[in-house]
Amino acid sequence: MELSNPRHPHSVSGLTSSPPPRTAVTLGEHVRGQTRRMCGAAGFAADGSGRVLTDLLDLLGPAAHRPLAAGPPSRSFVCDDHSPVEFSLAFSAGSPVALRLLVEPGCSATTLEENGRLGRQALEALAARRGFSTDPVRRVEDLFFPPAMDGRFALWCAMDLRQDRPAGVKVYVNPQAHGRARSAQVTQEALNRFGFGGAWPALRERALPRGPDRDEILFFALDLGNWHTPRVKVYVAHHGITAAEAHAVARLLPGEPAQRVGEFCRVVADDPGRFDHRPLVSCLSYTARGGTHPSGYTVHVPVRDYAPDDEVARDRATAVLRGYGMDPGAVGSACAAMTSRRPRDGVGLIAYVSLVQSTWQPPRVNVYFSPEAYAVRPRRAANRVQEGWAT
């Protein structure tokens, strides 16, 4: 499938060009500087970013050498301006801040099939350097990498960088590779292959009741490498959902955690009622083979479509972090690490704020950042409706 004019769920109107970049500045140089500064914002040792930078540039491949002035290598939907990299910070009370980098390794490809091939090649090279197995990905290759692919991406790869143990790796693949109408069938079979088939009936009933156009299965994700408890994860975008309905989905996770979801959504998005601009995203994670329910649930709130600017988005992220007993200082440091512009001069630097809950760990809050390598969304009046998620 050609990637020249895909329909991207992150595509929005109103993007403006960033200040003209220096001709010599490449995508690799841009995100390399951001990575170094983000490591500092997260409290990593001054020399702790070297290996990460090598991995990042290798994952980007030829795109790392592309000048910013030439525009994005493809219409990646990792970020609104088609930057193929995303950063995030993970906060947990009493623990060091973790830094995550997500990359679309095949972003230089012109077809989805080539995107998938390049992505898997980059993943295999990373596995060889880091010493982990990619067997879980091979187990489902036929499901997610058919000869003729559909959808909006093929493979994303993320590295979780932690100060107290080696990095973990995540791989995201596309349940819509055979078409959106078959995404549920693909996801069910993938869960079966990893021993989680018994969880499908509850997932379908609670998280997918409105069909594939309203409850859209976006990603299937696998933990690879160094993880205390590796997970299999399913991501669902809930178009036009309310905070109360999100709470109902979260009840897939037994116990108290579901009670927090509705209020979290209302605080981060300033209680919009129905999330009509860009959907909430649920992530259901599975660790107990043979079980019927997830062991973790995350709600991702796209704050950039429910805040007038990044100053407001930052303040909301700060508020929820304090509410969960977490030090929010790294959020302000991260904003400064990512860009020299003032937060109030644009919106979209802070893309998502997420609440991560599980049956075996205390809550975490994640804050996601766009590199803004190619464009900045202008701030908007608080009462102006932003174009929604293109489907």
3-state secondary structure 348-372: CCEEEEEEEEECCCCCEEEEEECCC
| β-bridge partners, 89 | 99, 367
Cα–Cα distances in Å, from 362 out to 95, 105, 358, 365? 11, 32, 7, 10
Question: pLDDT tens across 257-297, in order?
Answer: 788 999 999 999 999 999 999 999 999 999 978 789 999 99
Strand segments, DSSP code E, in the chain are 16-17, 85-92, 98-103, 155-161, 168-173, 215-225, 232-238, 280-286, 296-301, 350-358, 364-369, 375-376
Question: Poorest-confidence range of 98-102, 158-162, 214-218?
Answer: 158-162
Question: pLDDT tens across 81-121, in order?
Answer: 999 999 999 999 989 999 999 999 999 999 999 999 999 99
Phi, psi of 316, rounded to the nearest 5 degrees = -70, -40
Asked if residue 19 has pLDDT above 90, the reply is no
Asked if residue 384 has pLDDT above 60, the reply is no
* pLDDT at residue 22, as a whole number: 54
Question: pLDDT tens across 223-246, in order?
Answer: 998 777 889 999 999 999 999 999
Q: pTM for the whole thing? A: 0.92
Question: pLDDT tens across 70-91, in order?
Answer: 999 999 999 999 999 999 999 9
Phi, psi of 306, rounded to the nearest 5 degrees = -130, 20
DSSP state of 347: B
Question: pLDDT tens across 302-356, in order?
Answer: 999 999 999 999 999 999 999 999 999 999 999 999 999 999 999 999 999 999 9
Between strands 215-225 and 168-173, the pairing is antiparallel
Question: Poorest-confidence range of 6-10, 71-75, 247-251, 269-273?
Answer: 6-10
pLDDT band at 23 (very low <50, low <70, confident <90, very high): low
3-state helix, strand, coil in the chain (%, to 5): 35, 20, 45
First-to-last C-alpha distance (Å) of the chain: 17
**Residue boundaries of the structural domains of the chain:** 16-376
Three-state secondary structure call for residue 54: helix
H or E segment at 15?
Answer: none
The percentage of residues in the chain with a pLDDT greater than 90, rounded to a whole number, is: 81
Asked if residue 45 has pLDDT above 90, the reply is no
Residue found by looking up tokens 């990893």 in the block: 194
Cα separation, 285 vs 100, whole angstroms: 18
Cα–Cα distances in Å, from 325 out to 43, 319, 321? 18, 10, 6
